[in-house]
Amino acid sequence: MPDNSNKFCASNDVRIPAWINEAYFKRLLKREFREFRRILNLSIIPATPPGETYTSLLMRIVIDIEMKDGFSQQKSYIVKTMLDDARGNGGFVNTLNIFPKEKMMYDTIIPQLELLYEQAGLSVKFAPKCHWSEEINGRICMVQEDLQTKKYRNISRLKGFDLAQMQRVLEKLAEFHAASAVWRQRNGDFSEEFQRIYLPANYNRSKSYQARIQSYKTAMASWGLQDHEHYVSRIPTADQFVQAYARCYSTNPHEFKVLNHGDFWSSYFTTFTHLVFILLPVDTEASLVKLTQPGEEGDQFRSKVYTNPLYVRAALSIFPFLYRRGILDF
């Protein structure tokens, strides 16, 4: 196998797990192809450019294989696995319990949601096929089909969608929500993992939130937002934030409930965290840890992302909208 350690990512925080190798993929190939004989070559390349994902390690595995009849072919897979706890974002991100829920979605829930449409005579797909998922050496790993082989491509997160694309995206999200509502109607509540609040204990007294809000308010003064003090006064305190967060997980059985899509990356209009990364140009030094940590290094990074011209342009439209809708009334 070629040495891809330097080709994969410019950041020294990223290391390809040692178990991503030929032996690992032989199991999958033997199961998928009855006539599989051997692997001729296996290459590991980044599935996304630097700065496109902060919560996982995403690899494209390109494999040249030989069949028993002597013919060869090429297969491509996407491998998604947890970050290393000991490096960069890993320790922080893995406490959010993202991967156990994602594994459950791919293994069980998404196939069941797609089956609901199939039973109604419709063909609807929500995700690439997951060929394999398991926990290995303490890290959950999923091997998925590579949609690039079907001519799918990622949009530029900095340019965003055009209107026709955005309409289709919202249609797909509506299909997902509708299926999840029917699933709940037939099967009862989703498991506890999907109803739990993932905030650290005593988050309302955390220095992390205070540091982010102070940096954010300072940045707002430079945006050119008309009556910016009016909007600054509407930024929630830590207590207000925690209370609003808890209300999102209300267990009122009479409310209409859907399963929210937690990885709607390029259209995730969340003001303080997700949007600043979506609109951040490629930055190999960017991390969730830097966004939340108190101190000079965190302050410098937050100033950089909160005054990014692409983010400011979006915020100038979003804040008046949030205000008119009463969303800033904490």
Distances (CA, A) of 93 to 5, 8, 54, 89: 22, 20, 8, 6
Does residue 204 sit in helix, strand or coil?
helix
Between CA 198 and CA 97 the distance in angstroms is 8
Between CA 25 and CA 65 the distance in angstroms is 11
Strands 36-46 and 72-81: unpaired
Between CA 61 and CA 146 the distance in angstroms is 9
Question: In which band, very low, low, confident or very high, does the pLDDT at 123 lie, cut at 50, 70 and 90?
Answer: very high
Residue 200's pLDDT is 63
Highest mean pLDDT among 66-75, 132-141, 224-233: 66-75
- Structural domain spans, the chain: 5-90+128-135, 198-324
**Each residue's pLDDT tens digit, 219-267:** 999 999 988 898 999 998 888 888 887 777 776 778 888 888 766 665 3
Residue 263's pLDDT is 64
Report helix angle 163-187 to 110-119, nearest 10.
90
